[in-house]
Amino acid sequence: MADYAAAARAITTADSLGLVSHLNPDPDTIGSAAALALAAQRAGKRVAAYCRDAVPANYRFIPGSGLFSTNPAVLEGVDVLVVVDCSEPGRIGPDGEAILSTAALVIDIDHHTDGVVFGKVRLVEPGAAASGVLIHELLNELGWSVDREIAEALYTAIETDTGSFHYPNTTPRCLRVTAELLERGCRPQKVAQALYESHRPERFRLLGLALNTLELALEGRLALIQVTRAMYDRTGASVEDTEDIVDYARGLAGVEVGAFLREEADGTVKLSLRSKGAVRVDELARRIGGGGHPCAAGAGFSGSLGEAREWVIANVAQALSEPAGADC
Ligand code: 5GP
Ligand code: MN
């Protein structure tokens, strides 16, 4: 379901392009959409970009990320709407369907396995490592050149969605695209410094408190880490500083599933789940309206931290007792 020729035709004939990323944006949705936005600007098109949530401070180094607005009105009247990295319209935000229904032509660019396809034109490839890979191939189809800024935006998308090239989506195709980005001037060390070596001390103070909550369950096969609202007050850290804490839960020997539970301001819990392969965590997340990938998924949980913890333990226990798994 990847009609590059149709997507390139629609974009070539458009005077204006609207880019849409998913809420709680990650570097793939931002970097991929920003790369296409920059390339379209260089091709003389009028460009607007929308994300329901502001680009987190630690991702504002991504070239083109400054183009995003949190006001959907910027999309009004654009010829083509390109929705990037959204597995379903609801990932745009509560008004996702409304935004799509007013657009002249919608292109759905995504790589999630559990996606609901939408839009007239689709570049949907669950086998692709990141939406950034699909955007790179679309730029080739368009014949638009990739400069250093575009290359670094796409590299950031791919580097993060492959877990720094740790996950099984690190395929030959993914590495070939990455090699081309390096040939276009991308500096991996600059991206790595921006992503992993530019944190505020508050982030590490929060990490310290979070790691102290580490709990092992199910005979050491499940690890849980929590962040409460009180921890933000104690450390001065913010929600953005919780990114990647879940990796510590999966990082223990013997752990099959790592879970991160974050208490939200509205009394719900944001769940992040990571698997080493024994469990498909996207299937667990879908049970409560979430989604993601077999080895990395997330969901919102309506209930308290304690209830979320119980839910995770019960559902991971049940999944571990079944044979189905994933290649993580
Ligand atoms: P994270 O745990 O880092 O928030 O997300 C891991 C993966 O799950 C990402 O691919 C992300 O897009 C997806 N994901 C996280 N939360 C949700 C959710 O509430 N709904 C859906 N459909 N996917 C989610
Ligand atoms: Mn992605």
pLDDT of 91-108, one tens digit each?
Answer: 999 999 999 998 999 999
The pLDDT, as a whole number, for residue 327 is 87
Q: Are strands 215-217 and 222-227 parallel, antiparallel or unpaired?
A: antiparallel
Domain 201-320 of CATH type 3.40.50.80:
no
Residue to mutate, 250, 293, 301, 312, ligand 1, most ligand atoms under 8 Å from C-beta: 293
**Phi (first) and psi of residue 102, to 5 degrees:** -95, -5
Ligand 1, atom 14: closest residue by C-alpha: 298
Alpha carbons 274 and 181: distance in angstroms, whole number: 28
The pLDDT, as a whole number, for residue 221 is 98
The pLDDT, as a whole number, for residue 323 is 86
C-alpha torsion 65→70→71→74, nearest 10: 20
Which of helix, strand or coil describes residue 104?
Answer: coil
Instruction: Classify domain 4-196 at the CATH topology level.
Output: inorganic pyrophosphatase (n-terminal core) (3.90.1640)
The model's confidence at residue 328, banded by pLDDT at 50, 70 and 90, is confident
Q: Are 271 and 261 in contact (CB under 8 A)?
A: yes
Looking at all shown ligands, the one closest to residue 261's CA atom is 1
Locate all alpha helices (DSSP H) within 172-304, ordered by sequence: 172-183, 188-196, 201-211, 229-235, 246-250, 281-286
Ligand 1, atom 6: closest residue by C-alpha: 297
Alpha carbons 33 and 38: distance in angstroms, whole number: 9
Residue to mutate, 26, 29, 257, ligand 1, most ligand atoms under 8 Å from C-beta: 26
Q: Are 255 and 249 in contact (CB under 8 A)?
A: yes
- Quick: pLDDT tens for 133-156: 999 999 999 999 999 999 999 999
Ligand 2 center from residue 102 Cα (angstroms): 25
Task: List the chain domain ranges.
Answer: 4-196, 201-320
The angle, 0 to 180 degrees and rounded to 10, between the axes of the packed helices 27-42 and 131-142 is 10
Q: What is the mean pLDDT of the chain?
A: 96
Tokens found for residue 2: 């990847």
Residues 6+ apart with CB under 8 A from 42: 144, 145, 147
**pTM for this model (two decimals):** 0.91
Q: What number is the average pLDDT over the span 102-131?
A: 93
Ligand 1, atom 2: closest residue by C-alpha: 272
The pLDDT, as a whole number, for residue 313 is 98
